[in-house]
């Protein structure tokens, strides 16, 4: 493994590596394997493993209680409710079809909108939707435009009055901006031929959720204190298949789904919404035998406060492969040259991918961890963790590509 040890590219930052052969139970190469690194979205593998072990085949879409002439309901953290990529209508159909009076028990204070260590400036970008107890439409406005369209389309239409053309906004193609403290979206598009499809988070509040519920359901909804229903017997409505959330979370590195999966897990385990409690539960019950105890604070890896070691990631990859069916691993992990965040990297040169791995990228952080299939039909586990580098992440990717393909060819 001299290409790793002597790499001028990897030496432009702080690099940790482990390459492991499970068949021989042998570490083929390790470097800074016991040092802690910021993992970025490699954190999602811990979220996946934890929630895979906790959640049922179908998510709990909504908590509800029927009481005389009333239907009282509150959130489970279900991210699929009216989400444009899932369009989970289970809660909508229940709430629309009932002839009972609707009361939303507001448990929004159980979920903080942003995680510890998140940047305040992410509020308007597609990767930074707020976390919430009762998400609607993925907590985003989806904007789109085809080349033949003259103007912008968007969903949900609830925000129509807050979306405004501003030709003074400077852009070479298009720009969609949002005020930090409100849901006023301003946009400008230069040229009719521009095509786009992009998401912008909206700012959550109890009042906004109530207004959106009334608008979406087309009927009156009253807000009540969550304390009035806390601890009372209630039903849990089933929604979408959990695997559909796992797949999108892993393939495109969906931060919102990662965070909300931990909220769903808390609802399932504790009947309350507490991300930290689920993380601690996993560390104590599922991950207590890792070589180095993780510092783990969120589901997505957006926080720079997360810290993992390469050898702990290898131990996690081992757990996943032992406990998750192989076909699901290959369906959920991005495939080199084929899908998701490594679609443009790690081509095998043939039809079958040789890399199934999760990326992780923040400023000064790039990680790639997963499974490497060799020409001799071995499956190796690997983790590359790069922090504090002073070159482009593409240079790191090119160097990792050389190393990993060489192992694929020769091992």
Which tens digit of pLDDT belongs to each residue from 297-332?
A: 999 999 999 999 999 999 999 999 999 999 999 999
Q: Are 93 and 99 in contact (CB under 8 A)?
A: no
Number of Cβ within 10 Å of residue 330's Cβ equals: 14
- The count of residues in the chain is 411
User: Helices H, strands E: what count in the chain?
Assistant: 10, 16
176 beta partners: 187
Tokens of residue 22, six digits = 């499970």
Half-sphere exposure of 29 (CA within 13 A, CB side): 17
pLDDT at 268 > cutoff 80: yes
For 29-66, write each residue's pLDDT tens digit.
999 999 999 999 999 999 999 999 999 999 999 999 99
Query: What is the topology classification, in CATH, of domain 2-54+246-410?
Result: Beta-lactamase (3.40.710)
Residue 356: enclosing H or E segment and its boundaries? strand 355-362
> To which residue do tokens 């959130």 refer?
75
**pTM for the predicted model, two decimal places:** 0.96
pLDDT, position 25: 97
**Binning pLDDT at 50, 70 and 90, where does residue 164 land?**
very high
What's the pLDDT tens digit per position in 72-119? 999 999 999 999 999 899 999 999 999 999 999 999 999 999 999 999
How does DSSP classify residue 303? -
Q: Which residue has the tokens 């965040």?
A: 341
**Integer Cα distance of 129 and 135 in angstroms:** 10
The pLDDT > 70 percentage for the chain reads 100
CA distance 133 to 88: 16
Mean pLDDT for the stretch of residues 6-27: 96
pLDDT at 181 over 90: no
The pLDDT, as a whole number, for residue 151 is: 86
Backbone angles phi, psi at 119, to 5 degrees: -80, 135
Q: What is the pLDDT of residue 192?
A: 83
Q: Give the orientation angle of helix 255-270 with respect to helix 43-54, to 10 degrees.
A: 30
Q: How many Å apart are CA 61 and CA 268, to the nearest integer?
A: 11
pLDDT of residue 61: 98
Predicted pLDDT of residue 2:
67
Give me the residue spans of the domains in the chain. 2-54+246-410, 58-245
Reply yes or no on whether the pLDDT at 1 is more than 80. no
Could you list the beta-strand ranges (E) of 47-173. 58-67, 70-74, 101-106, 140-145, 153-155, 163-165
Strands 163-165 and 185-189: parallel
Q: Could you give the CA distance from residue 322 to residue 320 in angstroms, rounded to a whole number?
A: 5
Model confidence over 127-149: pLDDT tens digits? 999 999 999 999 999 999 998 88
In this prediction, residue 149 carries a pLDDT of 85
Per-position b or e across 191-215, b if 16+ CB within 10 A of its CB? eeeeebeebbbbbbebeebeebbbe
> Which residues, including other chains, have CB under 8 Å from residue 349's CB and lie 6 or more apart?
none
**Closest residue by Cα to residue 194 from 212, 173, 177:** 173
Q: Tell me, what's the pLDDT at 150? A: 83
């Amino acid at each position: 493994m001299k290409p790793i040890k002597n790499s001028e590219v990897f030496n432009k930052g702080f690099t940790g590596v482990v390459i492991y052969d499970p068949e021989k139970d042998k570490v083929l190469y390790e470097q800074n394997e016991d040092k802690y690194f910021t993992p970025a979205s490699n954190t999602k593998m811990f979220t996946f493993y934890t929630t895979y072990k906790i959640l049922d085949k179908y998510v709990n879409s909504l908590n509800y209680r029927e009481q005389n002439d009333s239907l009282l309901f509150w959130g489970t953290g279900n991210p699929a409710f009216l989400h444009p990529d899932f369009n989970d209508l289970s809660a909508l159909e229940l709430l629309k079809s009932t002839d009972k009076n609707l009361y939303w028990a507001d448990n929004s204070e159980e979920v903080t909108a942003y995680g510890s260590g998140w940047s305040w400036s992410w509020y308007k970008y597609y990767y930074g939707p707020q976390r919430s107890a009762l998400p609607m439409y993925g907590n985003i406005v989806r904007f789109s435009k085809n080349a033949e369209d003259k103007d912008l389309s968007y969903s949900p239409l609830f925000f129509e009055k807050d979306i405004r053309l501003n030709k003074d906004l400077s852009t070479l193609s298009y720009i969609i901006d949002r005020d930090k403290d409100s849901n006023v979206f301003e946009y400008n598009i230069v040229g009719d031929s521009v095509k786009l499809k992009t998401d912008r988070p909206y700012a959550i509040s109890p009042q906004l959720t109530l207004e959106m519920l009334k608008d979406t359901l087309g009927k009156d909804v009253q807000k009540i204190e969550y304390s009035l229903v806390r601890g009372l017997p209630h039903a849990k409505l089933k929604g979408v298949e959990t695997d559909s959330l796992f797949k999108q979370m892993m393939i495109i590195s969906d931060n919102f789904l990662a965070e909300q999966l931990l909220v769903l897990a808390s609802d399932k385990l504790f009947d309350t919404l507490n991300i930290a409690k689920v993380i601690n539960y996993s560390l104590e019950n599922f991950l207590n035998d890792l070589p180095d105890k993780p510092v783990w604070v969120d589901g997505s890896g957006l926080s720079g406060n997360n810290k993992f070691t390469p050898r702990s990631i290898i131990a996690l990859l081992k757990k996943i492969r032992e406990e998750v069916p192989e076909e699901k691993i290959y369906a959920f992990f991005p495939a080199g040259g084929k899908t998701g965040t490594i679609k443009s990297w790690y081509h095998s040169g043939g039809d079958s991918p040789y890399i199934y791995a999760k990326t992780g990228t923040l400023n000064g952080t790039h990680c790639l961890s997963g499974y490497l299939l060799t020409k001799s039909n071995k499956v190796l586990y690997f983790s590359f963790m790069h922090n504090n580098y002073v070159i482009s992440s593409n240079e790191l990717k090119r160097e990792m590509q050389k190393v990993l393909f060489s192992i694929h060819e020769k091992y």
